[in-house]
Chains A and B, each alone.
Chain A
């Protein structure tokens, strides 16, 4: 079966279509921003390359799914549960595995290499444990799939909720980073961990905290993703790549910029798909990633 090739459809573009697409881009873009910020918290502060980021998301989605379908717990309530569970996984993993890597390494490059290999191992373990438990079939749960319409532009409740929740989380993180002592300590540890240690910052605790926050955000993003898209054990990697695209666009450690980067990726994807075909969605995202990484030339 061939997918019919569609040309550019500009003539039939109406004003409500444009608004509709802008709303859709904002909803999906804020989800991408949430993904990116979770990864950014972990990577920019601890330098651990979390290539299993999408798998914590997948874990969160499956947790919500099982709570919803076996115990009828609403995804809104399980949002907190999921955040707690994946967050504590993050903290425990840092204490048990990554703490060793961070202390043993002679340079940040060594931390990066060793940590991505470990995350890679974790990715394989998590993905296959979930497959063994839930089989590799795609699943999903439906919550808030009813549209609200204002002025001829409609949005699904779950997407609206996703956008608001992402905005709140990102705003909270930015405020904590800019306005509190904790944020100051985190930024100091991000800039120079040895100097921070000498100045009396408990770097170890800050790293563990950042892992906890990052993993918790990933898990909660999984909860939100499960409302909108289908859930499968192998879904993780594509979300990891999106998260990396976002932080490469935004720059590491730039939490406010992450929102902008996520939104622009959302816009690029929505409009790109509109003018070509939906089958190209993944290819558009990957091409943006490759072009951005190669052009930014950030080195290591």
Chain B
């Protein structure tokens, strides 16, 4: 086992070393691409550690990201950056704590609708509440050193991977998987489903809040329509499904595939052609490989193996 742990450690530390040293020898364009990549890895992993494992698919994850971002952005004027990030995570967690017991009572499509409506309602509430959002001009906030933002995002991406790994290989993670398979059976087996769901939801939302808190320092400006962008929630779901939601590696693979496609084919913009490809991709995905790319590749290998034996 320690042998396997060592391999995992090396596998994790090579990309970490690469990402940590890349500002030294890459242009700022590549660094900002890596930042977006790590941002989506962190966000997708954060989404996956609750929604992916437990099957409570949320398409309004951006709500908690936005809460973190607004908290951090508003506090940036009078508090140092690291503290505002923590405040972002804290407020996001508190909101999740307050809303969680209510919205986790519903499941399936109702959960889907509630989470989506929640993020849209928050967006509209902020547009309406002009003292905070600054009306149609947005709110100007002091922007931070871009290298610092980059390192923080890389750090949070790795922390999210480690946390997702820890959850997956724990009794807690097993409980979440069981909730996905059959919630009634899980309850009958003695899993405290209410508590498990709330904790999972909380952890996931705190991650979104912290990521939002970090990203507040990047743009120097906040606008509800830009932050509570449904495209971010949708992309997170698609990336996780593309890779496969039952592995830690899944969201990473999905993110790398989609972000690279988006960056090098379409220049990193949400152009219509890119979104059409996303749509077609998700349809094909559901029909032909509902378990994600990783499981699909694995099944190809086993099929070929069987063919050789037979």
Q: With A112-B108, A121-B278 given, can you name 6 additional A-B contacts, CB distance below 8 Å?
A: A117-B285, A237-B120, A282-B120, A282-B121, A289-B117, A290-B121
Shortest beta-carbon distance from B44 to chain A in Å: 16
- Asked if B117 and A290 make an inter-chain contact with CB atoms under 8 angstroms apart, the answer reads yes
Shortest beta-carbon distance from B279 to chain A in Å: 3
Does A124 sit at the interface, judged by CB under 8 A? Answer: yes
- Asked if B108 and A109 make an inter-chain contact with CB atoms under 8 angstroms apart, the answer reads yes
Chain B positions within 8 Å of A, measured between CB atoms, are 55, 57, 59, 102-103, 105-110, 112-114, 116-118, 120-121, 124-125, 128, 130, 135-136, 230, 234, 237, 241, 272-273, 275-276, 278-283, 285-287, 290
- Asked if B121 and A116 make an inter-chain contact with CB atoms under 8 angstroms apart, the answer reads no
> On chain A, which size bracket covers the interface?
35 or more
Q: How far is the CA of A289 from the CA of B285 in the complex (A)?
A: 31
Does A128 sit at the interface, judged by CB under 8 A? Answer: yes
CB-based closest 9 A-B pairs? A124-B279, A300-B108, A121-B282, A125-B279, A121-B283, A286-B121, A128-B272, A121-B279, A128-B275
B120 touches which one: A100, A241, A244 (CB < 8 A)?
Answer: A241
**Neighbouring A residues of B103 by C-beta, 8 Å:** 290, 294
* Dominant secondary structure of chain A at its interface with chain B: helix
Q: How far is the CA of A120 from the CA of B135 in the complex (A)?
A: 31
**Neighbouring A residues of B282 by C-beta, 8 Å:** 117-118, 120-121, 124
- Asked if A125 and B280 make an inter-chain contact with CB atoms under 8 angstroms apart, the answer reads yes
Q: Which residues, 17 to 74 on A, are CB-close (under 8 Å) to B? A: 49, 51
- Asked if A112 and B113 make an inter-chain contact with CB atoms under 8 angstroms apart, the answer reads no
Shortest Cβ distance from A120 into B: residue: B282
Q: Which residues, 265 to 296 on A, are CB-close (under 8 Å) to B? A: 279-280, 282-283, 286-287, 289-290, 293-294
- Asked if B107 and A300 make an inter-chain contact with CB atoms under 8 angstroms apart, the answer reads yes
**Neighbouring A residues of B114 by C-beta, 8 Å:** 289-290, 293-294
Chain B proximity mask over A176-210: 1 for CB below 8 Å, otherwise 0: 00000000000000000000000000000000000
- Asked if A279 and B286 make an inter-chain contact with CB atoms under 8 angstroms apart, the answer reads no
B286 touches which one: A121, A280, A282, A293 (CB < 8 A)?
Answer: A121
Shortest beta-carbon distance from A47 to chain B in Å: 9
